[in-house]
Structure 1
């Protein structure tokens, strides 16, 4: 998903990446939250400077409900405080400046998806191990009771 308050940026992003990725776009943080509630999103790319809600505020607001998507922050301003906030509060994976370089952004998306996939695989493995431990405990109790 790409979140930006400038429609031209949303159109450009979709035009460049539509063949390679399934893209959802939102013109605001509020719209993005609605989209997240109805769609499976692996990667969120957001602009920092938006009215009503900055990119960092948006990312921070969705952390509890949507912890899995990998977050990327784009900004046209070299605002170091925004970058620090994004890392600390929004848990971003990567920070890029606007205008974005197509190749650099594509490589960042690819790396972000690899991290996302690894995160999900680790969670699944942890769940399987947890189940195995529960099954082992059950078998041990059965053995002790007989």
Structure 2
């Protein structure tokens, strides 16, 4: 199963453009609200979340910060039509954002960032699995040496 990429934006045109540009390369999910995005996160394995900064009711940074404890390994990208230094600092400090990009995005550039983010996600996942296997092997070894 291919790990998903979730794009959350309140503007339907942006969602449609994103899906059209990247659906051949990635397993794309889109959501027009944070609520829709959370439902997708709860049911799909999402490796990369891309969110708009300015949405009704919640900023992209606030959303990314809120999901950090639940989905710590998911790579986060903030996309905005506005260049705002406070948003940039907030994104990096509070939302632990991998990339901060200004709209309109360049397809080739965004594709590269998504590919890199998915690689990071997969490496983190693999490292966790290896650490777990190592821990189990050490526990088994400890049991054998006690006997």
TM-score by length of 1: 0.94
Superposition map of 1:1-146 within 5 A: 1-142=6-147
Considering only CA atoms, is the larger Rg found in Structure 1 or Structure 2? 1
SS in 1 for 2:28: coil
Query: What is the distance in 2 between the residues matched to 1:47 and 1:75?
Result: 5
Aligned CA-pair RMSD: 0.8
Q: Secondary structure at the match of 1:87?
A: helix
The answer to which structure has the higher strand fraction is: 2
SS of 1:77's equivalent? coil
Q: After TM superposition, what 4+ stretches of structure 1 lie above 3 angstroms from structure 2?
A: none
Runs (5+) with no aligned partner, structure 1 = none
Partners in 2 of 1:87 and 1:128 — Cα distance?
32
TM-score with structure 2 setting the length: 0.94
Number of residues paired by the alignment? 142
TM-superposed deviation, 1:35: 1.3
